[in-house]
Amino acid sequence: MPEPLVRGDALLLVDVQNDFCPGGALAVPEGDAVVPVLNRWIGAARDAGIPIYASRDWHPAGHVSFEERGGPWPPHCIQGTEGAAFHPDLTLPEAAEVISKGTDPDRDQYSAFDGTGLGERMRAEGITRVWVGGLAQDVCVRASVLDALAEGFDTHLIRAATRPVDVQPGDGDRALTEMREAGAIIVEEAEPVR
Ligand code: VGL
Ligand code: ZN
């Protein structure tokens, strides 16, 4: 049964950025399909008065994760570029808290909780339950969900609001299994309950 958003919940949007959408530098297939789904969740979160956190991959040029430095990825989400901007159709409210990660040139941070203080900030806001969507299901969403669980949050992944990059076929499905086995609740619905 879908549950409504209540006080103590938070919405976490992971890396809904142009470079992870079709046409971007590190495009996730159908990555932009998460935007209308997340916009409905943003509306529900605003109606319920619960906080919205939006992480962004925010790399300096020459980041350690780029192929030029032996990393796995083409250059992407370079600070201040169009590719690093949130998708233009994402209706992120002014009040949303933006979490920048991947800013250290020599270290990657796939998780929105890794070295950002996000867990502390959520606890300070009285958050106990987190609803997660965004990109990519098998990279930064996976890492963020696993960290949210490790931080002790009751963690729900909105499956319709995420897509995998699937560098190896099946990566997205394996990540779903891993998140579920770690204790995440995978909800399918495209529409939040109001
Ligand atoms: C991501 C690859 C490299 C992500 C970030 O946000 O999922 N993927 N950097
Ligand atoms: Zn990155």
- Provide the pLDDT for residue 194: 67
| Domain harbouring 175, CATH code | 3.40.50.850
Angle at the Cα of 189 from the Cα atoms of 48 and 127, rounded to 5 degrees = 40
User: What is the phi/psi pair of residue 7, to 5°?
Assistant: -55, 135
Is 149 within a domain?
A: yes
Domain extent at residue 164: 9-187
**Residue 67 within any structural domain of the chain:** yes
* Total of domains in the chain: 1
Of the candidates 21, 108, 138, 140, the residue annotated as catalytic is 140
pTM over 0.85: yes
94 found inside a domain = yes
Long-range contacts of 177-181 (CB under 8 A, 24+ apart): 178/142, 178/146, 179/142, 179/145, 179/146
Tell which one of 56, 73, 99, 167 to mutate to probe ligand 1, the residue whose CB is within 8 A of the most ligand atoms.
73
User: For residue 79, is it within any domain?
Assistant: yes
So what's the pLDDT on residue 2? Answer: 60
Residues with pLDDT less than 50, the chain: none
3 belongs to a structural domain: no
How many angstroms does the Cα of residue 179 sit away from the middle of ligand 2?
A: 20
Determine whether the shortest distance from the Cβ of 139 to ligand 1 is under 6 A: yes
